[in-house]
Amino acid sequence: MYSYIFLMFLIIIIRCSYIYCGSCHITGKGQCKEADCSSRKLSNVPKDLPDDIIKLDLRRNLIVKLTAKAFISYQNLQILILDENRISYLKENTFAGLEKLNTLSLFGNNLDLNASYHMNIFSPLVSLKTLNIAKNMNKINGEKVFYPILSELHNLFILEVDLSKNPVFKMSGLNNLTRLNTLMFDFCYLDKMTNNTFLDMPATIVDITFIGCTINSVADANFLRPFPSLRSLQLKRVCVDYDSALKILYPFENKTMNEIKFEEVNPGYCDGSVRSPYAVIVTANMMKYLQNICVRKLSMIKNGIVDFKPNSLLFYHHPECFKEIEFSGNRFSIMNGFKIKELIILITQVSNLSKFQLSGLLGSIAYSENGFNQNPLFNKHRIYPTEVTVPFPQNLKKLVLRNFVGFQETIPQIPIRFMNISSLSFLDLSNFRMKYFPEVLFNGKNNLRYTDLSGIDSTLYSGRKSIPFLQKTYTLILKQARLGLTFKRGKKIFNLVPSVTKLDISYNHLWFVPNDAFNSNKNLCILNMGYNLFSEIPIAVMTLSKLSHLTLVHNSLQTINSTFRDWFDMQNKRLKTKLRLNLVGNVFKCTCENSDFILWLFHTKIIFDSKTITFKCSLVNGTITNTRRVYEEFHQLFSDCKSEIWLRVGVCLLVGFIAFTLPIAILVNFRWRIAYCIYRTFKMVVEKDMKSKFRYDIYLSCADDCLGWVKNTLIQKLENSWKMSVCIEDRDILAGNIRADAILQSIQESRNIIFIISEAFSDKIWGDSQS
C-alpha cells in the first residue's frame, strides 16, 4: 500500500517537472520543449530539466564558471543562451554532447579572448551556425589578442565577436570557414583600419557590421579588400573621420552592393562630454568611390553633414541601382542654389527607387524671416507661374520628409503638381514646419494609403473643402497637430479623409471632440486618442459603427459610464473580431459610484491592453491601487455601499413624508384663519370692484344679558386677535342724533352684521318681532 502511494507521488512529481522544474519554466510539448531559466539568480546549470529540451535560456543569472560536460544531459539542445552572466572561463569539455546545437550565445560576459577559451572548446559543436561571443571585452588591451580556434565549426554562418585593438585571426582558422557569411563586431576597440587587419578572414563574407569603434588614424583604402564578396557594410557609431569612412569603399568600385549604411560615423561622438558630431562638408573627392558603386540601399544617418559641394552627395554613376535612399538626422539643406537642380536630375534618374527618406534635425536650423532662402525656384520675391511642376520617381512607394524647420518661406503659395505619383502609397511629412500648406496636385491614379501630418498645424488646411491626395488615405497620423484649436473654430477636419480606417490623434492636449466629428468616417476601425486630456469618452465615438480598436491611454478618465459600457458590449457582439480597448495610464476611481464599472471590467468580453486588467485606481481615502486587487477584495471594499444606498433611500422617504404632511398639518390647524383670509381677500377684491367703502368690519348688537360675554370674550377675539374693527350698538352709537338713523348708518358702514339672540334680546325695541 505504501509503495503504491510513493509510486503515485513520484509520478506526480515527474509530470509536474515538465511544467515547472525548480525555478525554470518549461513550455512546449513533444520535441519542442523549451526551458526558460532567465533571471533566476542561478549560479550553476540546473540538472533537473527534461532531457529532451531543444532550447535553454540562462541569460541574466549569476553563473561564473561552466563545468566540464555541463550540458551533457541535454543532448537535443539546438539553442543555448548564456547572455549577461559572469562567465570568465570555459573548460575543455564544457559543450560536450551538444552535436545538435546550432545557436550559442555568450553575449555580455567576462570572457577574455586570450585566456578564457580552451583550445578545443568549440570542437563538439559540429552543427553550430550562429555564435555570439560579443561584448566580453570590458577594457582596452593594447597587446595582441589571439582569437579562439573556430576551424572545426564548418557550418558556422553568423559570427558576432569583439574587435580588439590588435587582433590576430591567423590561428583561429577562420579562413577555413567557407560557409561563414556574416560578421558583426561589437565593442570595437580597433585603433587602425589597416590593409592587413582582415587578411586571415574568409573571402565568403557577405555582411559586415562595425559597432562602436574608435579609429585614431586614417583608414587604409584596402582595409576591406579581403572581402571581395561583400554585399552589405554597416558602420554604427564609429568614431572616424567621414572622409576615411568613405575611403574604405575603394575595393568595391564598379561592383554591386545591397546595402551601405553609415550611422553616427563621426569622431565627435567619442570626444568630450557632449558627444555631438563635428560639422562635415561632403565633397566630390570624398564621394568618388561611393559614386562608382551600384548600391541598392544607401543610408547616411546622423553623420553631422551640414553641407555638400556640387557633384557630391546627389551625384552617382549608377542611380538606376538605388531602391532605397535615406539621409536622416543631418543638417544640410537642399532648397538652395545648385542642390535643388541636382536633386531634380537625380529624381529623373533613380528609375527603380522605391523609398526616399530625407529627415532633418528638428530645431537645428534657425529660422530667419529676412530672406534666408536664396533658391531661385522658391524664392519669395520671385513672380511664380500659375503652377509648379515637380518630377517624381515613377516607382517610388514610400516618401519621408520630416523634422524640418526653416522652410516656412520656401513653399510657394501656388499649386504644386507632381508627375508620376501613381506608385506612392506612404507619405510622411511629420514635423515639416510651414506657414502655408501647399495645394498639391498630381497626375495619374491616387494610391496613397498612409499619410503622417504630425506636427503640422491643422488650422492651415482644415478649412479646405477637399485635399486630393487625402481622399483615399486609409491611415492618417495627426499627432501634435493643434486639433483643439481646429475644433474650437468649428472646422470638420476629418471630412477631408472619408476613406480613413485608422486615425491617430494622440498628443493633441484634447479635452473634447465635437459630437459630429466622425460623421464622414464610416469606415474608421482603429482610433488612437491617447495622451490627451479626456475626462470622459467623447460621444462622437458612438457614431463609429465599425470601430474595433480604441486607444485612450494616458488620459484623465475616472470611469466609463453605463451608456458607453452598453455600447461597447453591443459593438463587441456586432464585430467578427473582439473589440480592443486600451486604457493604461488612466487613474480610475474605485468608489461605490463606480462599483458597477469595476465589475464590468472583469465580466465584459472586450480585450484590454492590460491582460490582467490591472489598471490604476484611487480608493476613497486617496490610496492608489489597481482594479485587479479591488475586484478580488470587492465585497470587503464595497460592503458599506448598500447601507449607504438604504440611508439615502431613508432620507429621501423622510423628506418626502415631511413635504407631504407639513402642508396638511398647517391646513388642519389653521383652517379657519386660512378660510377667513381667503374670504377676506376675495371680499376685498369684490368690494374694490364695487368701489365700496366700509368703516367697520362688524356691526354687533346684543342684549344686556350677554353683554359680559361679549365684552370679555367675543370683543377680545375680534379686536385683539383678529384685528377687526367692531361697531357695538351700546358703545359706539353717539347720543344726539336720531337713534334709528344712527343705527341704520352704522349698519350700512359695516361689512358684516352680527345679532346675538338671547332671552333679553326681545325686550329691545329692535328685537321685538312685531316692531
What pTM value is reported for the model? 0.75
Sequence-distant (≥ 6) Cβ neighbours of residue 286 within 8 angstroms: 242, 243, 246, 312
**Closest of 182, 180, 138, 144 to residue 162, by C-alpha:** 138
- For the stretch 419-440, pLDDT in tens is 888 899 999 999 888 888 888 8
Task: Tell me what the mean pLDDT of segment 405-430 comes to.
Answer: 76
% of the chain exceeding 70 in pLDDT: 88
**Closest of 502, 509, 453 to residue 483, by C-alpha:** 509
Sequence-distant (≥ 6) Cβ neighbours of residue 268 within 8 angstroms: 239, 275, 276, 277, 278, 304
Give the model's pLDDT for residue 84.
94
Distance, in Å, from the CA atom of 701 to the CA atom of 481, rounded to the nearest integer, reads: 95
Sequence-distant (≥ 6) Cβ neighbours of residue 66 within 8 angstroms: 45, 82, 87, 89, 90, 91, 94
Backbone φ and ψ for 391, nearest 5 degrees, come out as -70, 160
User: DSSP string covering 199-231, please?
Assistant: TTS-TT--EEEEES-B--SPPPTTTTTT-TT--
Taking each helix axis from N to C end, the angle separating 641-669 and 671-690, rounded to the nearest 10 degrees, works out to 60
- For the stretch 327-379, pLDDT in tens is 999 988 887 778 888 988 999 999 999 999 998 875 433 333 333 333 444 44
Q: Locate cell 474595433: which residue?
A: 548
Residue of 586 and 176 predicted with greater confidence: 586
Give the chain's mean pLDDT.
Answer: 85
Give the model's pLDDT for residue 8.
45
Task: Assess contact for 207 and 235: CB atoms under 8 A.
Answer: no
- According to DSSP, the residues that pair with 299 across neighbouring strands are 261, 326
**Closest of 758, 707, 705 to residue 728, by C-alpha:** 707
**Closest of 266, 194, 261 to residue 233, by C-alpha:** 261
- According to DSSP, the residues that pair with 528 across neighbouring strands are 504, 551
- According to DSSP, the residues that pair with 57 across neighbouring strands are 36, 81
pLDDT band at 513 (very low <50, low <70, confident <90, very high): very high
pLDDT band at 10 (very low <50, low <70, confident <90, very high): very low
Give the model's pLDDT for residue 14.
38
> 578 in the Ramachandran plot: left (φ > 0), alpha (ψ -120 to 50) or beta?
beta
Sequence-distant (≥ 6) Cβ neighbours of residue 724 within 8 angstroms: 697, 698, 718
- For the stretch 195-236, pLDDT in tens is 888 998 999 999 999 998 888 787 888 999 999 999 999 999
Q: Which of 75-89, 262-276, 470-484, 615-629 has the weakest average pLDDT?
A: 262-276
% of the chain exceeding 90 in pLDDT: 51
Of the CA atoms within 13 Å of residue 239, those in its CB half-sphere come to: 18
Backbone φ and ψ for 297, nearest 5 degrees, come out as -135, 120
Distance, in Å, from the CA atom of 56 to the CA atom of 80, rounded to the nearest integer, reads: 5
> Which residue type occupies 466?
S
Task: Assess contact for 541 and 527: CB atoms under 8 A.
Answer: yes
DSSP for residue 411: S
Residue 216 CB: number of other CB atoms within 10 A?
Answer: 12
Distance, in Å, from the CA atom of 275 to the CA atom of 765, rounded to the nearest integer, reads: 131
Residue 127 CB: number of other CB atoms within 10 A?
Answer: 16
Q: What angle is formed at CA 426 by the lines to CA 424 and CA 435, rounded to 5 degrees?
A: 100
Q: Which of 145-159, 471-485, 504-518, 726-740 has the weakest average pLDDT?
A: 726-740
Residue of 138 and 262 predicted with greater confidence: 262
SS3 178: coil
Q: What angle is formed at CA 726 by the lines to CA 722 and CA 732, rounded to 5 degrees?
A: 155
Q: Which of 69-83, 198-212, 580-594, 719-733 has the weakest average pLDDT?
A: 719-733
Distance, in Å, from the CA atom of 295 to the CA atom of 364, rounded to the nearest integer, reads: 30
Whether the per-residue pLDDT at 616 is higher than 60: the answer is yes
User: DSSP string covering 278-306, please?
Assistant: PPEEE-TTTTTTGGGSEEEEEEEESS-EE
Residue of 274 and 90 predicted with greater confidence: 90
Task: Assess contact for 299 and 259: CB atoms under 8 A.
Answer: yes
Backbone φ and ψ for 420, nearest 5 degrees, come out as 60, 45
- Which is it for strands 79-81 and 616-618: parallel, antiparallel or unpaired? unpaired
pLDDT band at 384 (very low <50, low <70, confident <90, very high): low
Q: Which of 16-30, 365-379, 428-442, 745-759 has the weakest average pLDDT?
A: 365-379
Distance, in Å, from the CA atom of 37 to the CA atom of 21, rounded to the nearest integer, reads: 10
- Which is it for strands 130-133 and 616-618: parallel, antiparallel or unpaired? unpaired
Q: Locate cell 517610388: which residue?
A: 396
Sequence-distant (≥ 6) Cβ neighbours of residue 492 within 8 angstroms: 462, 514, 516, 517, 519, 520
- For the stretch 635-677, pLDDT in tens is 887 776 765 555 567 778 788 888 888 888 887 887 777 877 8
Distance, in Å, from the CA atom of 528 to the CA atom of 534, rounded to the nearest integer, reads: 12
Give the model's pLDDT for residue 391.
83
Q: Which three cell numbers stand for residue 555?
A: 488620459
